[in-house]
Structure 1
Amino acid sequence: MRPILIVDDEAAIAELVRRTLAEAGYPCRAVTDGPEAADLLEAEKFDLLILDVMMPEVDGYELLRWARPTGVPVIFLTARGGTADKVRGLRLGADDYIVKPFDPPELVARVESVLRRAGRGALTLTAWDVAVDTGACTVTRGGAPVPLTPKEYDLLLLLLRNRGHVLYRTYLYETVWGEEEFGQSTRTLDTHIQRLRRKLGWEEKIRTIHRVGYCLAAE
């Protein structure tokens, strides 16, 4: 797998993006100016380019034009959230457009989506005898396929990428279902977790944190 190149003239933002994607398993390079990014694009190959728009010397639009002949997919990550800005970026050839401030899980999901469409950057995440191929969206246990629903699959990815960390119920609701409340369906999350435990043999590995949420044990 080739690295993801992150270009943002705000060093703190570039580092936040790099750390977010690195924790999800993606190798990354982060730079803070356009000319250096242009040099890297000429000298190396990348699976994805994440660009800010507003940068001195060489802005994101110019870098997109520079990168287009290489065929590398591009995501704009910028504070410019106007409709005209989004339309311009997408018409110039960007594969996605994310407005700052961004939510880290959403960023990872958008990156996965663009990489999947481009046929690049597939990762295999493993825990005990379970393996998840994020490119093919398949799960195996001891080499045998495990059929999961889309929500079960999304929950599994969140648990794998946050091993040893407690995930709050509200966070899981918002990230997987896009809702803060389920009204009368508040047991939906618990039901999905129970199914994951049964299908993966993780009855003791996905821990319930009473009144808080869930945590996947570290190996």
Structure 2
Amino acid sequence: MATILIVEDEKPINELIRRSLQTVGHRCISVYDGQAAVDELARNEYDLLLLDIMLPELGGYEVFEKNTRTPTIFLTARDGLSDRVKGLTMGADDYMIKPFEMLELLARVDAVLRRTMKASANESFELDDVRIDFGSRIIYCDHQSVEYTPREFELLEALVRNRNIALSREKLLELAWGYDYEGDTRTVDVHIQKIRKKFGLENRIKTVYKLGYRLEV
């Protein structure tokens, strides 16, 4: 997983972001003003920078200009078109407007990291007797590769990347099938049952009553 610097002066929001990212396995450092961010980036390397624009000491745009080498997602309440265009044309990887859903932030963080992390081709995840190599898209169970359908892989990947978080059936459809999928949510139930049996994850993929599923790690 990635090492992420969170630069947000509102401490409750900073803490919520940090806890959400740590839940799915990322290592996070929090700072609360622009100058502290510049100092931290000078001392340490980060895989991703989550950067508020309106900050004490130095604004987010100034912080970004001093450190363009770190992939960056701007987080801001400034929702004007000119602000979004400025942030993206400066070279930021994404721009999120407050308030936002944590699941959306996790998805966007994951998308940026996939594009930017040098080690992404070698990224893997292990749980019990299962190992997933995301770069090669090979899944091993008891050290033996297991056959799967493309949809099973996408669904399992969505659960892994959002582990310990309850995901609704609708959200799993969106993550694994795409925004334009118009099928029945019972499709998710069928695929979950197949994944549980195929990879021995009956005790790991939990049913969340009246919502969906959660991969417990």
TM normalised by structure 1 equals 0.81
Task: Give the whole-Å Cα distance in 1 for the aligned partners of 2:136 and 2:79.
Answer: 32
Superposition CA RMSD, Å: 3.0
Question: What is the correspondence of 1:50-199 to structure 2 with a 5 Å cutoff?
Answer: 50-68=50-68, 71-120=69-118, 122=120, 124-134=124-134, 138-146=138-146, 148-149=148-149, 151-160=151-160, 161-163=162-164, 167-173=167-173, 176=176, 185-199=184-198
- For structure 1, the residue ranges without an aligned partner over 5 or more in a row are none
Paired amino acid for 1:99: I
Does the Cα contact within 8 Å between 1:2 and 1:45 map onto a contact in 2? no
| Equivalence for 2:9 | 9
Task: Give the whole-Å Cα distance in 1 for the aligned partners of 2:14 and 2:208.
Answer: 33
Higher mean Cα deviation, 105-114 or 139-148? Answer: 139-148
Does the Cα contact within 8 Å between 2:163 and 2:216 map onto a contact in 1? no
Paired amino acid for 1:47: D
| Equivalence for 2:199 | 200
Higher mean Cα deviation, 170-179 or 18-27? Answer: 170-179
1:117-171 deviation digits (Å, cap 9, x = unpaired): 11246553322111234566553323334455554334324544444x7544455
Task: Give the whole-Å Cα distance in 1 for the aligned partners of 2:104 and 2:64.
Answer: 22
Paired residue total: 214
Task: Give the whole-Å Cα distance in 1 for the aligned partners of 2:45 and 2:166.
Answer: 37
Percent of aligned pairs with the same amino acid:
45
- For structure 2, the residue ranges without an aligned partner over 5 or more in a row are none
* Secondary structure in structure 2 of the residue aligned to 1:105: helix
Task: Give the whole-Å Cα distance in 2 for the aligned partners of 1:9 and 1:199.
Answer: 46
TM normalised by structure 2 equals 0.81
Does the Cα contact within 8 Å between 1:116 and 1:135 map onto a contact in 2? no
Task: Give the whole-Å Cα distance in 1 for the aligned partners of 2:40 and 2:4.
Answer: 11
* Secondary structure in structure 2 of the residue aligned to 1:57: coil
